[in-house]
Structure 1
Amino acid sequence: MRIAITPSVLFKLCCSKSFSKNIIAPLKSYQAAGIFHPKSSPHATFNLFAYINSKLIHHQPYYFHRATQAFLAPSQTLSPLSLHSDLEEALDSANNTEELLTAFKALEASLNKDDERLGLACLKVGDILHSKASKNLEKALGFAVRALEILGRNDGEGSLPLVKALRLVGSISCRIKRFNESLESLETAYQILGSLEEEGFNGKEFNSERISIQLEFANTKNLMGQRWEALLNLRRALQIRMQILEPDSMELGLACKDVAEACAGVLEFGEALPLCLKALEIFEAKLGENCEEMVQIRQLLGAIHVGLGENEEALTQNEFCRAILLSLNMECELLNIEIEAANIQINLGRFGEAMSNLKAVIQKTGKESEARVLAFVSMAKVLFFQERFGDSKGCLDMSCDILNKLELISSEKVAETFLEISMLYEMMNEFETAISLMKRTLALLEKIPQEQHLLGSVFARMGWLLLFTGRVQHAVPSLESAVTKLKSSFGPKHFGLGFAYKHLGQAYLEMEKIQSAIQMLLLAKDIIEASFGPQHEDSIDTCQHIANAYGVMGSYDMAMEFQQHVIDRWEMHAPDAKDELREAIRLLQQLKKKVAGSPSAVFPAHCLPESLLK
């Protein structure tokens, strides 16, 4: 049973800062832009130094929108009051945009401009236009905003339709890349839903909106490159679905797959695995084993196993995929699966098997195909690990030649492949070539908002290379950009962000920005220790840099405290780290001499005279 919102509650909502900011302000901006014409016409005039191959994770630009559509049947998208039955039927039966607008004008002429039924009709027309085609988006937005204005003025039980209007505005704004307006509309809808829930509102339609709002949040944030934030919304939507859906429903299976995919996208493989297995169980029960959908879910499961370092399990999933694709005669898809198999075999050190598979793939590909590029890159990896560096570079050169012709066709995959090639050049100490390719990758990724996570990884890696090759001034802006992008994409505690903080701290230390260096290094220490443990070499190295920074600043008590941490941790590695332990003890002794005022004391190590360092 629907619960009406009293005039006092609606007044409270309308007078809130959020409502004013998120509804009234966007209305004015849309009007100023000429999109909304309330009287005459509604027409419009989102160091990852351990690189995970994102080609194994199949993000679709609007897969959250697909999930929304799967949850809401067309008949559930609106809940209009009693419109004029014949005119409502005309809206429903319209075969094209012209008929729809003609039916709406007839309805509009029969109603007062503030009639809630007119608002609901605007909402219905906007929703239909939104679902038809991208060319109708501005018209759809005009109707959605008009619905929002009418429904926002009315009291009674109009609050759930108001939520729907806000969601529609948010969805359309997202598709036309007005992401901030999208988030503002969705946030207001979310607040209204919270007020309704406090009033005791419940039921199927209400839960549909709760889920839809979370999915639209996720879609917008994903397209802004905010994958971590998008994942939080996907989790909330999944929690609601788990409460109201049958445990073996296909819809729940799709939701588990989407959340598993999003988890893998931010490298949360441990969380992704059980969700993907749940989706696999449902898919298999509902669809059977031999279908394209099962290939997708098993391919995702394989990528998750790779992320967890479980390469044998990944290879098993790959074999399932190959068998299904062979039975379905899907030759193009099979080539990509065979390349993935070769990459897993490389991870397992089975270089001969990988090379045989890749040679077979190359024989089946066209001279300027994407599959051929990927096969050459994987072949370069094999040759690198076999220490055939000249041959490896030859494969990479051929890959780049093809990519130069594909660059305008598939910029996302081209960018990912350039990044992979650059890392191979880096491993071969071809630093200038690696940096050049990273710059090309950045130029491509900067045009793709949803690839901000990859942009952050490239900035981090390039910043580290610039720092390593002595170009500190150039490294700092790259590392600062990496910190911003990685935090947005992966959250505040991800290991890749920890490495970016560490290298930025090192750069600040070299530039004698000691306070900034200590701040970055302490942040890095917390993240890296949480990710890898305090005995990990990167954790110890970070502690050493912190000790160095405090020593340079003259805070010898703090320097000695962190230097002692370094000694204690290297002792845990004995006898394999005897040289590192001896150096750490020597540095602590130098610190003690500093405190005692000895003029011969030298700390940190890089303060030694150049002649002695040699």
Structure 2
Amino acid sequence: MDLGRTRWSVGSVGVLGRLVRQDMVVDYPSRYLAEAHVQAMQFDEADNLCKKTLEIHRVHSPPASLEEAADRRLMALICEAKGDYEAALEHLVLASMAMIANGQENEVAAIDVSIGNIYSSLSRFDEAVFSYQKALTVFKSSKGDNHPSVASVFVRLADLYYKTGKLRESRSYCENALRIYAKPVPGTTSEEIASGMTEISAIYELFNEPEEALKLLQKAMKLLEDKPGQHSTVAGIEARMGVMYYMVGRYEVSRGSFESAVAKLRASGERKSAFFGVVLNQMGLACVQLFKIDEAAELFEEAREILEQECGPCHQDTLGVYSNLAATYDAMGRIEDAIEILEYVLKLREEKLGTANPDFDDEKKRLAELLKEAGRSRNKKAKSLENLIDPNSKRSNKKETPKKWSAFGFRS
């Protein structure tokens, strides 16, 4: 097998964004449900419920109440998750005004951090820096220079300065945050330290320093691995470590990290989430590098099923798994299966996604090579994939060894 002709792109696995829930006075059933939907990443449902709660506030609550401010922060989180940054900013500004009216200085600073995050997402970097610096001043004054809240703002500034190309400043803020995490003040939780280290590791990954990123992820995992209720978080860290190990060519260790993450996600009831599907795909890529082709095919098949259900067939992650499956089937000698998948993908692009994407030409070329080998032309009426990947298929033979690798590019 010639692995040198394959293209690999790794990096889509990341720890799911941690939803930091501030202390809130919960009075309305809609808020309970909205928070539950946010935790389940069901943002449309959360949006509808949160709007109902805000309407209740408009009719029944006094102006600028703490309860309304809390719900506006939740609504801002939902809007941010849906990519509606301007709406998120509006809700945060209103929440901040309510907190100022109630003398909640530290809560105002926390909202300033969230406002900085929105400005950063909108590439309004000067305004983001101003918001972060405002929060930093308050946290240092009220909590002390070595408080984890200070470190968390340092991390935000490090990320922002990386985005703006100020790498020296970015690294300096990372180091300042790590100094705080190395000698935490009393009352600092392991979860706070682990979360900060995980975020800093992502910046070191951007610096192209995977070994440093790995060290931080290992420390974060040790802090959490014995903590109850942290299985999903640890699984996310292990998945990130799997990506890092893959990047430095330690494929066996990478596979082991993904395997551990998959086991934890299965045990914690997340076996049908989109994140789980992405982790399965990444584990399949590691298996390919180890020539464990049958295992890779099973992982890609399971990932395909999950991502089709959770994201739909046109989502980029789902399309990537289709491509990986086609390449794997080709390597196993299942040429007809590989052809059917590629015909299906090209049909999707032509009818729903457009052909401007560079992947279209790449996939069309791959399909032409397979069709030439099979001695036939393209079938434009591609079959559905519904029954293509059948574990009882007579074409699938677990004892087969890969007969070759085509020029397929495997995708994360």
Taking the aligned partners of 1:493 and 1:460, their CA distance within structure 2 comes to 16
Equivalent residue number for residue 333 of structure 1? 107
Equivalent residue number for residue 157 of structure 2? 379
Q: Deviations over 1:370-392 (max 9, x none)?
A: 22112111111221111112211
Taking the aligned partners of 1:311 and 1:456, their CA distance within structure 2 comes to 29
Equivalent residue number for residue 452 of structure 1? 231
Q: Does residue 1:605 correspond to 2:384, yes or no? A: no
Pairs within 5 Å for 1:513-552: 513-552=292-331
Q: Sort the Cα spacing of 1:606 and 1:308 in 2 relative to 1 into closer, same or farther, 3 A.
A: closer
Equivalent residue number for residue 54 of structure 1? 19
Q: Which amino acid is 1:341 matched to?
A: I
Taking the aligned partners of 1:296 and 1:543, their CA distance within structure 2 comes to 43
Match of 1:397 among 175, 190, 193: 175
Taking the aligned partners of 1:373 and 1:436, their CA distance within structure 2 comes to 18
Q: Deviations over 1:297-324 (max 9, x none)?
A: 2212211111111111111111122111
Aligned residues of 2:297 and 2:325 also touching (Cα < 8 A): yes
Match of 1:270 among 31, 41, 44: 44
Equivalent residue number for residue 274 of structure 2? 495
Equivalent residue number for residue 310 of structure 1? 84
Aligned residues of 2:66 and 2:99 also touching (Cα < 8 A): yes
Q: Provide the TM-score with structure 1 as the length reference.
A: 0.55
Deviation at 1:353, TM superposition (A): 0.3
Pairs within 5 Å for 1:159-170: none
Q: Which amino acid is 1:603 matched to?
A: W
Aligned residues of 2:210 and 2:244 also touching (Cα < 8 A): yes
Aligned residues of 2:366 and 2:408 also touching (Cα < 8 A): no
Higher relative contact order (CA 8 A, sep 6+): 2
Q: Sort the Cα spacing of 1:485 and 1:294 in 2 relative to 1 into closer, same or farther, 3 A.
A: farther
- Aligned-CA RMSD value: 2.8
Q: Deviations over 1:537-596 (max 9, x none)?
A: 332221111011111211221122223334444556565334x33432333344345546
Equivalent residue number for residue 138 of structure 1? none
Identity %: 26
> Which stretch has the larger CA shift, 508-517 or 381-390?
508-517
Q: Sort the Cα spacing of 1:449 and 1:50 in 2 relative to 1 into closer, same or farther, 3 A.
A: closer
> Which stretch has the larger CA shift, 581-590 or 260-269?
581-590
Aligned residues of 1:547 and 1:559 also touching (Cα < 8 A): yes
Equivalent residue number for residue 253 of structure 2? 474
Taking the aligned partners of 2:372 and 2:50, their CA distance within structure 1 comes to 58
Deviation at 1:414, TM superposition (A): 1.7
Q: Deviations over 1:238-260 (max 9, x none)?
A: xxxxxxxxxxxx5xx1x321222
Equivalent residue number for residue 398 of structure 2? none
Deviation at 1:339, TM superposition (A): 0.8
Taking the aligned partners of 2:174 and 2:16, their CA distance within structure 1 comes to 18
Q: Sort the Cα spacing of 1:494 and 1:58 in 2 relative to 1 into closer, same or farther, 3 A.
A: farther
Structure with the greater alpha carbon radius of gyration: 1
Q: Does residue 1:351 correspond to 2:125, yes or no? A: yes
Aligned residues of 1:540 and 1:569 also touching (Cα < 8 A): no
Taking the aligned partners of 2:290 and 2:342, their CA distance within structure 1 comes to 22
Equivalent residue number for residue 440 of structure 1? 219
Equivalent residue number for residue 164 of structure 1? none
Equivalent residue number for residue 378 of structure 2? none
Q: Provide the TM-score with structure 2 as the length reference.
A: 0.80
Pairs within 5 Å for 1:21-170: 49=14, 51-55=16-20, 57-58=21-22
Structure 2 unaligned segments of length 5 or more: list them: 1-11, 376-402
Deviation at 1:48, TM superposition (A): 5.8
